[in-house]
Structure 1
Amino acid sequence: MSRPVLAVGALGGTIASTPSAAGGSAVVPTAGAAELAAAVPGLADLAAVRATTLARLPSPSLAETDLLGALAWARAEVGAGAQGVVLTQGTDTLEESAFLLDLLWDSPVPLVLTGAMRAADAAGADGPANLLTAARVALAPASAGRGVLVALAEQVHAARWVSKTDSMAPAAFASPSFGPVGRCVETEVRYAAPPPRRAAALAVPGDRAPAARRPRVPLVATHLGDDGFVLGSLDLAGVDAVVVAGLGAGHVSTAMADVVGQVAAVVPVVVATRTGAGPTARATYGYPGAELDLLDRGVLGAGWLPPVKARLLLWALALTGPLDRGRVAAALAEHGAP
């Protein structure tokens, strides 16, 4: 019986990191996809692996265009017969990469992201175990049709809900609002429910966004005592939309609300909650800067999307044309709710 084909692509990150100099403790991404796959006991018995090094970058240096390139690679691998696709990268931006790819992934074949919290030479390095888990998830029949998944620490998360919730802990990922969708126990992948309904994938004009058409969607976080200085300082020329990481259920100060309204008269503005879980409110609070006031000023609530994912939704939407409030509202209704 022939083994299934598994495509493994590597972008860099801690999972690919080794000491930068002899005797030093600081690590940098150096390993490629073939080296990562070779370090996983039992992976070659599980599947015929096609390994491709896409980049050797720390994840803070990844850009949306790098992910569009990874998307093109993953689609080509599926077209060439891969039954599952795994992408490795650094954990700092992994939740954002997974969500952006999920917005654009239009295949039932599983695309699974994984990484590591400990470098390859560290005691208790978690990279090989996470890569093996991701491979099992990618090849599991029950993973089909679930879109992009994230597999770390033997848990499976949906790209829409996963977040990095700890800066250094080995178990750094969670889905705060709804929990993981599955687990890998021994060698089996188990899901608690059938695949959910998936929103239609957003269109991508070619494999990469031309430099001249790369969308620009700033993200501004508010805070205690914010008078709107940072938001009001933005040069809106060339800006497609703005996301505000709001307080509580999507709130800002009275002074900030005036500035938000002024910006919303020029480009679409979306307010998300910075709390890390739960949605923006729609009809609870009516004071200046609360959701009812912001809605009256033309601002949109991000629903269940955290600020970084709301920003990516607008960025991907802007790839295919100018944004207006109607387009953004429709996209948030489709992608910002369970």
Structure 2
Amino acid sequence: MGGAGMSAALLVQALRQPASVAALDGAGWNALIAAARAERLIGTLALRIGDGPVPEPVRRIWADARREAERETRQALWEADRAAAALADWDGPVVLLKGTAYAAAGLTAGEGRFIGDLDILVPRGAMADVEQRLIAAGWEWVKQDPYDDAYYRQWMHELPPLIHRDRDRMIDVHHTILPLTARQKPDADAMLAAAVPITGKLYILSPEDRVCHAAAHMLADGDLAGGLRNLWDIHCLLADADLRKLDARARRHGIAPHVRQAQRLADALYGTGKARLTLWDRIVLRRLLARDGWGGESRKLLRSAFYIRSHWLRMPPLMLARHLLTKWRKGHRPG
């Protein structure tokens, strides 16, 4: 089957122009479905394409994907409800983030989305109180390693992950959106102050802060694994944002270059394709499209470079060297 980027390019084309799948042959359908599964976009793709001119086996795959996405949405919303119940007596809002937030607010970005952990944002000063209330309600620590626990508490933007002992579902409790060691310092208090109520205890970030968070998560923190889904989120979220307010908000959070790049990339892949791309934009696009014709990861050197870059973004050089050496000694190896 074709070279690097083939299946990812088919996925992007199908999301941007669903009617384009009518021209696919059997190999094309296999590549498209493989990439959609690998990027966790198959539920979204199934809803975008629908049951139009697609082969009967694909209809069954679409039906399974839609059912799985609906199941994950129900489960995610139940977890949000349980977290809200556990924190009912705590005097503060529970701000939902990422997939659960999109689903709870009925946003386009949540349609067909597969949802993993529950992510919430609370004030930094409330972290200890929130943690104890969640533990009392059945959540337990995942990180048993003292180094990992201490690293999270001192340097990260969230508590060490917690998992519920009965439901086996994880919650990540954030007090800001980037690690404390990152060069950018988003104003988490401003995000909390501008949060919009969904129902009762649960809130969601403002439309502009949702884009800022998604862009920061994708471009100022991670290694771009799963980047096509993250960029689809951004493409959908931009439709609800006031672009003038977004620029001001991005500057306030210190991530204006990342938000502007996210806008260009979203336009390049899912929009009009008229954005003027920089050389760095084109390198990022190569990383985003790094899948072979079977949906597997390709361009190993490029992926490794972005993995190293993700750590470089999170911490100063000496701290990075100590951290990577410690993790290496403990047997961790990059994927």
Both proteins in one fold, TM over 0.5: no
User: Would you tell me which structure has more strand in proportion to its own residues?
Assistant: 1
User: Would you tell me which structure has more helix in proportion to its own residues?
Assistant: 2
Compute the TM-score of the two structures, normalised by the length of structure 1: 0.27
Compute the TM-score of the two structures, normalised by the length of structure 2: 0.27
